[in-house]
């Protein structure tokens, strides 16, 4: 998803169509677009404020873990009662701080999850003696799981591709369909003929500071906590596991997929870090816990007829040096001392994943498979990345995966992919489009931003679809209706914005003075003064005209990207950045009620929106 794109650009738009014009924030930024971000629910703000500091408070979870260990060793409820008597008063104090933070029925309980532990009633009647001694206390022991809802808790040590099937239920149903515009799962989706209308569930299985800023709010700049790597390092393994597992449990729930289906979507893109599969010496990441939550989420998607696009968002070593890869700073993937090793590790991970998702149960469901999100090819040896892509493609195919394989444009510019990798069957090019990470596009006024979406991006999609002028099959895997880069932590933790001219990268990990943008870049040229106040306001404070514009801007992009293979919006929900949350947009009327029924397309007239302030 989003990263900090270290460099601005003053190239012309003609030049932008040929090569990338920005890498300032981790997503594409030429005519090809930029990178993604996210929003949140106003009604939960009070609850989130109550929980902001709580995720760093571990006494309750430490004691819960101790009670479970006593139960496993002793086997008696008496031992549990004794421990409860010892801790009842301090636990009451902690719970009082957490009260009100329980996730809602529609999911999205905040970065630290809900305050009440899931019932885990499916463990009732299951004997802890059924768990082999060597598996007790490991990720295969369901009595150590925070949440067991809809998971099979019968122990099995069986693996596929070296990956555990523990938690999977034996039966599944592929007769469901997302809506009447698409076929049920057990019938073929005609990719390239019917558009993908998909949703990203960002900030779930790998963290992004602008999606869930509460994870990072409790730290100062001296702590240096700017990404999942530094966060889990600071927390330590016990607290990190407890905290992140609660987040995995509450941020995305079954109701999330139900709502996504109800909003007219037919696909879900699931970003995840490599630590869901494995970790390496020195890694602070929580190992393998995200795996079972991903598998459960995939099954919930099945229930609502939603096909899956798997997305490896964080590769070993970091493929782009942006915070959403797990570790901000230097690129250690296909670059530096361990670059080749990390490239090989990534292919090994793909062999495991592709073998696992080649099982019959996933044939109709996991139809798209991403190799690596946003490799920053403008900073890497592009030939090495292309060679790696071919090797990874072959590894996935040799492991049995027959669906669509997705690779990123690497910010090279779509036109530059003509003639590359075109011999690889069923390969799809993924571009991420955002106007806000591009200093040439963020300054466009309201009329011109819509016009650019309808003109520039539509033309680009059509060129890219034609193998004579582009690669061929092309998808927009991330985009947003945000028209500023004002969202908190969007450009890195504690870093400002291009809009206000406060983007100071010089003292951030991996940043430099070259990444600074210290002159305001809103359409007024700072006269009147560029301000983030209006852009960061609650949707209830938006004017009717601004809501109309946001809706039209979103629908224009949908129309444009459907000239290719379709699109995935970034993202479903955030804690507070409204223009990055499709869910918030639905509630506020700035998104179409159904993704396939829209009031505007690019054949229509675009108002001048002259009454809208251009500085906020």
**Is 478 one of the catalytic residues?**
yes
Output the CA angle 541-543-547, nearest 5 degrees.
100
pLDDT reported for residue 55: 41
Placement of tokens 């998909």 in the chain: 198
- The dihedrals phi and psi of 370, each to the nearest 5 degrees, come to -90, 135
pLDDT over 80 at 81, yes or no = no
What the chain holds in terms of domains, given with CATH numbers, is: 13-44+176-588 (3.20.20.80), 45-153 (no CATH)
| Catalytic (active site) residue 45 | no
DSSP labels, 273-323: EGGGT---TT--SPPSHHHHHHHHHHHHHHHTT-EEEEEEEE-TT-SS--G
User: Would you say residue 78 has pLDDT above 50?
Assistant: no
**CA distance linking residue 271 with residue 204, whole number of Å:** 8
Q: What is the pLDDT of residues 345-376, one digit of tens each?
A: 999 999 999 999 999 999 999 999 999 999 99
Distance CA 211, CA 272 (A): 14
d(CA 514, CA 177): 49
The rounded mean pLDDT for the chain is 86
377-414 pLDDT per residue, tens: 999 999 999 999 999 999 999 999 999 999 999 999 99
Catalytic residue among 6, 24, 228, 374: 374
| Chain segment 210-226, per-residue pLDDT in tens | 999 999 999 999 999 99
Residues in Cβ contact with 161 at an 8 Å cutoff, skipping those fewer than 6 apart: 351, 352, 353, 354, 355, 356, 399
The more confidently predicted of residues 377 and 505 is 377
Question: Which pairs from 444-451 meet CB under 8 Å and 24+ separation?
Answer: 444/523, 445/523, 445/609, 445/614, 446/483, 446/549, 446/553, 446/609, 446/612, 446/614, 447/606, 447/607, 447/608, 447/609, 449/483, 449/553, 450/549, 450/552, 450/553, 450/556, 450/606, 451/606
- Per residue in 229-240, pLDDT (tens digit) is 999 999 999 999
pLDDT band of residue 1 (cuts 50, 70, 90) is low
Please name every residue paired with 594 in a beta bridge, in sequence order, or none if there are none: 597
Distance (Å, whole) CA 306 – CA 568: 13
Residue-wise pLDDT tens digits, 174-200:
999 999 999 999 999 999 999 999 999
Catalytic hit among 259, 478, 555, 562: 478
């Amino acid at each position: 998803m989003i990263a900090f794109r270290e460099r601005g650009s003053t190239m012309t738009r003609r030049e932008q169509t040929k090569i990338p014009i920005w890498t300032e924030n981790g997503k594409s930024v030429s005519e090809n677009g930029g990178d993604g971000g996210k929003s949140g629910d106003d009604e939960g703000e009070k609850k989130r404020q109550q929980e902001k500091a709580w995720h760093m408070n571990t006494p309750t979870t430490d004691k819960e873990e101790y009670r479970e260990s006593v139960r496993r060793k002793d086997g008696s409820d008496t031992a549990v009662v004794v421990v409860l008597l010892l801790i009842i008063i301090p636990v009451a104090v902690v719970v009082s701080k957490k009260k009100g933070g329980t996730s809602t029925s529609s999911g999205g309980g905040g970065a630290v999850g809900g305050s009440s532990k899931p019932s885990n009633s499916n463990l009732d009647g299951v004997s802890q003696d059924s768990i082999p001694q060597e598996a007790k206390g490991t990720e295969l022991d369901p009595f150590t799981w925070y949440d067991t809802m809809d998971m099979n808790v019968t122990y099995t040590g069986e693996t596929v591709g070296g990956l555990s099937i523990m938690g999977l239920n034996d039966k599944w149903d592929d007769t469901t369909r997302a809506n009447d515009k698409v076929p049920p799962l057990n019938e073929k989706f005609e990719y390239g003929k019917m558009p993908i209308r998909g949703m990203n569930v960002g900030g779930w299985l790998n963290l992004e500071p602008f999606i869930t800023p509460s994870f990072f709010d409790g730290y100062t700049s001296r702590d240096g906590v700017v990404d999942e790597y530094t966060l889990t390092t600071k927390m330590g393994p016990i607290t990190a596991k407890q905290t992140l597992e609660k987040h995995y449990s509450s941020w995305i729930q079954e109701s999330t997929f139900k709502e996504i289906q109800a909003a007219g979507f037919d696909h879900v893109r699931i970003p995840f870090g490599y630590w869901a599969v494995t970790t390496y010496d020195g890694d602070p990441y929580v190992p393998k816990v995200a795996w079972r939550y991903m598998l459960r989420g995939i099954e919930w998607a099945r229930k609502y007829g939603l096909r899956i696009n798997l997305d490896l968002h964080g590769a070993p070593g970091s493929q782009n040096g942006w915070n959403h890869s797990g570790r901000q700073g230097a690129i250690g993937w296909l670059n530096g001392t361990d670059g080749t090793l990390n490239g090989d590790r990534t292919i090994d991970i793909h062999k495991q994943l592709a073998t696992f998702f080649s099982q019959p149960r996933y044939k109709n469901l996991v139809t798209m498979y991403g190799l690596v999100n946003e490799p920053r090819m403008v900073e890497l040896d592009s030939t090495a990345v292309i060679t790696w892509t071919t090797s990874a493609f072959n590894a996935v195919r040799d492991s049995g995966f027959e669906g669509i394989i997705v690779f990123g444009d690497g910010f090279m510019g779509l036109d530059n992919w003509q003639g590359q990798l075109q011999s690889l069957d069923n390969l799809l090019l993924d571009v991420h489009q955002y106007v806000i990470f591009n200093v040439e596009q963020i300054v466009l006024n309201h009329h011109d931003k819509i016009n650019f979406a309808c003109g520039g991006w539509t033309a680009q999609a059509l060129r890219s679809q034609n193998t004579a002028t582009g690669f061929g099959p092309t998808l927009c895997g991330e985009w947003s209706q945000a028209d500023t880069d004002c969202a908190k932590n969007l450009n890195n933790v504690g870093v400002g914005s291009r809009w206000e001219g406060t983007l100071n990268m010089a003292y951030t990990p991996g940043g430099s003075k070259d990444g600074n943008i210290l002159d305001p870049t809103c359409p007024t040229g700072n006269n009147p003064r560029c301000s983030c106040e209006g852009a960061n306001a609650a949707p209830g404070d938006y004017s009717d005209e601004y809501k109309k514009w946001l809706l039209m801007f979103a629908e224009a992009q949908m129309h444009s990207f459907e000239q290719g293979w379709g699109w995935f919006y970034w993202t479903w929900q955030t804690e507070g950045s409204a223009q990055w949350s499709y869910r918030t947009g639905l509630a506020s009327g700035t998104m179409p009620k159904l993704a396939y029924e829209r009031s505007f397309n690019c054949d229509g007239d675009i108002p001048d929106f002259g009454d809208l302030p251009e500085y906020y």
